[in-house]
Amino acid sequence: MKKDAIAVVGAGKGGAAILETLLKMPDIVILHVCDPLPDAPGMKLAREHGIPCRDDLEHACRDPKVDLIFEATGLKAVYDRILTVKQPHARVIGALDAKIIFHLLDLQQAVADELEHRVHKRTRELAEANEKLEQINNEKTRYLMHATHQLKAPFAAIQSYTDILLDGYGGTLEPQTRDIVRKVKQRCVLLSNSIKEMLELANLKSLVRENVKMEAMSLNGVVASVVKHFADLAASRRIRLAVEPFPETCVVGNRNQLLILLSTLVENAIHYSPDGSEVRIAAAAPPGSAEIRVSVRDQGIGIKQEHLGRIFDEYFRANEAVTVHEQGTGLGLAIAKEIAAFHGTTVEVESAPGRGSVFAFRLILA
C-alpha cells in the first residue's frame, strides 16, 4: 500500500504539534519540514527523526512526491504562496483546517483513553466480584459438608432402629405398623444415599485438580470391580451385565474416582432397564489413538431430547425417571460430570425414549 507523502510548512509550536501527531500515524511518510528558523520546535523534532529540514517552502512544495501539504503558520501570504508553487496533484490543508482536524484527533484519543479506563475499571470490578462469588461458594460448600456430616449419624441411628423393629426385637408388629416402619427405613436409605452423594459432590468441587493423584492403572481391573459390585443387584432383576472383551489396558486416572464414575453409569443403567434385559460395558481405542472410549449401553426407558441438556444438572430428574426409580437422588450424573472434568474429559450420551441409552467417557492411555 502506497503511503501518503507529506510536507509541513511552519515548525513553531503548532507545526511541532502537527508533526508529533503525524509521526504516530503508520500510513504516511513526512518528506519535508520547512521553517526559516532552524531552532523552531518542529525543526528540532524533525532532525531527531531524520526528516529533511528546509528554510524555504518552494523546494518542498514543488516536490512531485508530495501528496499533502500542512500549512501551519496561519499566515495568508504563506498559504497563497503554497497554492502558487505546489504540484497540481498536491492537496493543501491550512492552519485553521489543521487545527480542527487535530482537535478532533485529540478528542478521539481522549474518548479512546476514557473507554480504555472504563474497560480496565470494569474488568477489575468483575474480577473482584468473581473472587467474592468464589469465596461465597467455598463457604457454601464448607457449610454443606459440615451440615451433611452432622446428619449422617442421626439417619444411621434411625435406620438401625427400623432394622431392629423389622427383625422383631421390639416385639411383633401389626401389618400396618410394619408397613410404616418399612417406609421409614426406605426414606432413611434414600436420605443416607443423598447425604453420601452430597458429600461426594462437595468434596469434588472443593478439590484442586493438581492435588488429585493420577496414576497408571488397569482399566480391566476397574471394570471387573464394578461388575462384581453390582452383580447381585443385576441378578435380582435378571439383568445380564455383559462386558465386551478388550485387551489388557492401562489408563491414567484416579482409581477411586473412576470407580465412582463407572459405578454411577452402571447403576443407573440397571435401575432404568426392564427386568430380563442387558447392560453392556465396552472399551475400544482406534489404532494409534492416545485415548480409549469406555461406554455403558442399556435397553432402558431412554431420555427425551429436551432433557438431554439437563440430566447432568444437580437434582434434576425427569418424570419418567422418578416413575421407574423413586429412590434416585438426582446427583449421580452431576458427580460423574465432575469426575470426568477432573480427568480432562466429558460424559457423552446418546439416547431416545424407548430405545435405551449409551453413556461414555474417554481416558488417556498410559
Which CATH number covers residue 287?
3.30.565.10
Same domain? For 185 and 269 the reply is no
Q: Do the strands 291-297 and 357-364 form a parallel or antiparallel pair, or are they unpaired?
A: antiparallel
Same domain? For 222 and 296 the reply is yes
Same domain? For 46 and 181 the reply is no
Same domain? For 244 and 187 the reply is no
Q: Is residue 156 pLDDT above 90, yes or no? A: no
Which pLDDT tens digit goes with each residue over 85-109?
999 999 998 877 776 666 666 676 6
Residue 138 belongs to some domain of the structure: no
How many distinct structural domains can be found in the chain?
A: 3
Q: How many CB atoms lie within 10 A of CB 202?
A: 20
Same domain? For 273 and 195 the reply is no
CA distance 160 to 99: 90
Residue 22 belongs to some domain of the structure: yes
Q: Is residue 40 pLDDT above 90, yes or no? A: yes
Residue 129 belongs to some domain of the structure: no
Residue 325 belongs to some domain of the structure: yes
Q: Please tell me the pTM assigned to this model.
A: 0.55
Residues 6+ apart with CB under 8 A from 18: 8, 42, 70, 72, 98, 102
Q: Which residue has the cell 452383580?
A: 231
Q: Are 92 and 83 in contact (CB under 8 A)?
A: yes
Same domain? For 215 and 350 the reply is yes
Q: Which residue type, as a one-letter code, is found at position 103?
A: H
Domain that holds residue 187: 150-206
**Given this model, what pLDDT does residue 211 score?**
66
Same domain? For 64 and 188 the reply is no
Q: Which is higher by pLDDT, 133 or 6?
A: 6
Residue 281 belongs to some domain of the structure: yes
Which pLDDT tens digit goes with each residue over 285-336?
988 889 999 999 999 999 999 998 899 998 888 888 878 777 777 888 998 9
Q: Which residue has the cell 480504555?
A: 116
Same domain? For 195 and 84 the reply is no
Q: What CATH number has the domain bearing residue 67? A: 3.40.50.720
Residue 26 belongs to some domain of the structure: yes
Return mean pLDDT, the chain: 86
Boundary-marking domain end, from 168, 188, 206: 206
Same domain? For 261 and 215 the reply is yes
Residue 192 belongs to some domain of the structure: yes
Nearest to 312 by CA among 341, 271, 273: 341
CA distance 195 to 155: 10
Q: Choose the most confident range, by mean pLDDT, from 45-59, 165-179, 319-333.
A: 45-59
Q: What is the pLDDT confidence band of residue 269, given thresholds at 50, 70 and 90?
A: very high
Q: Which residue type, as a one-letter code, is found at position 250?
A: C
**Given this model, what pLDDT does residue 206 score?**
65
CA distance 316 to 35: 80
Same domain? For 281 and 158 the reply is no
Same domain? For 196 and 325 the reply is no
Q: Which residue type, as a one-letter code, is found at position 19?
A: L
Boundary-marking domain end, from 206, 223, 252: 206
Nearest to 264 by CA among 284, 239, 293, 294: 294
Residue 210 DSSP one-character state? G
Q: Which residue type, as a one-letter code, is found at position 301?
A: I
Boundary-marking domain end, from 67, 93, 119: 93
Strands (E) in 15-135, as ranges, are 28-34, 53-54, 68-71, 91-93
Residue 312 belongs to some domain of the structure: yes
CA distance 97 to 236: 92
**Given this model, what pLDDT does residue 95 score?**
78
Same domain? For 224 and 320 the reply is yes
Residues 6+ apart with CB under 8 A from 296: 262, 265, 266, 269, 279, 280, 281, 358, 359, 360
